[in-house]
Structures are given as structure tokens and as C-alpha cells.
Amino acid sequence: MRQTYPFTAIVGQERMKRALILNAINPQIGGVLIRGERGTAKSTAARALAALLPEMEVVQGCRFNCDPTRSDLFCDECRERLEREGVLPTGLLATPFVDLPRKCHRRSRGRHP
Ligand SMILES: [Zn+2]
């Protein structure tokens, strides 16, 4: 298992760390764009903060990790499963760290093509 560098051990980069923390507190901020030279702890900080976040409740077996409390945002698969099965099993999942390619932009959880 990969060892995550502790968020609190990152020295400097105060604005970046504050932006990450604020985004974790209020995801409606919509994300944080971090840029900088190689070796300035950008990915390390984001991974370290993700490791501190609480587990999230998801629909078990959903590849998009749909939020079971927001059926209005379910993916097509969860919507069909709910109609078929009546109730969906849930589970806890560690907050994932997702590394997106550059030209990718944010979509709300549960809104899929
Ligand atoms: Zn789903």
C-alpha cells in the first residue's frame, strides 16, 4: 500500500493548502486549480488532504459511486436498479483521489452521460 505524506507536514504553500481545505469544507466552491513547478508538492498536498477526508456513503456496486441520499442525481444504472430492486445496498468508501487529465472539467457527482 502506498504511504501518503501527511498534509500537516507540508511546509509552505499556505495559499494552496488553504484552498484545498476550503474546497473540502465546501465542495460548492467547485474545485481548486493548482499549478506550479515540478516538485512543489501539488499532488502530494491534494493526496494528503484526500487521505484526511471521511469515508463517504455510496451505492454499492455503482461504478460512479452514486450518493444513496440523492436519488435525483443517480446514474442510469442506479436508477434502473432502484426500479428493479426497490432498494439499493449502500457502503462506505474512502474518499478517492482522482487525477484528471488537463482538459477535463468538473461534473457533479451522479450526472453522467
Ligand atoms: Zn450509480
Q: 95 CA distance to ligand 1 centroid (A)?
A: 16
Ion ligand 1: residues, CB < 5 A:
62, 64, 66, 75, 78
Average pLDDT along the chain? 87
Does residue 91 surpass a pLDDT of 50? yes
- Whole-structure pTM value: 0.67
Q: 100 CA distance to ligand 1 centroid (A)?
A: 20
pLDDT band at 1; cut points 50, 70, 90 = low
* DSSP string of the chain, one letter each residue: -PPPPPGGG--S-HHHHHHHHHHHH-GGG--------TTSSHHHHHHHHHHHSPPEEEETT-TT---TT-GGG--HHHHHHHHHHSS--EEEEPPPP----TT-----TT---
Query: How does pLDDT run across 26-79, given as a tens digit for each residue?
Result: 989 988 888 888 888 898 999 999 999 999 999 999 999 999 999 999 999 999
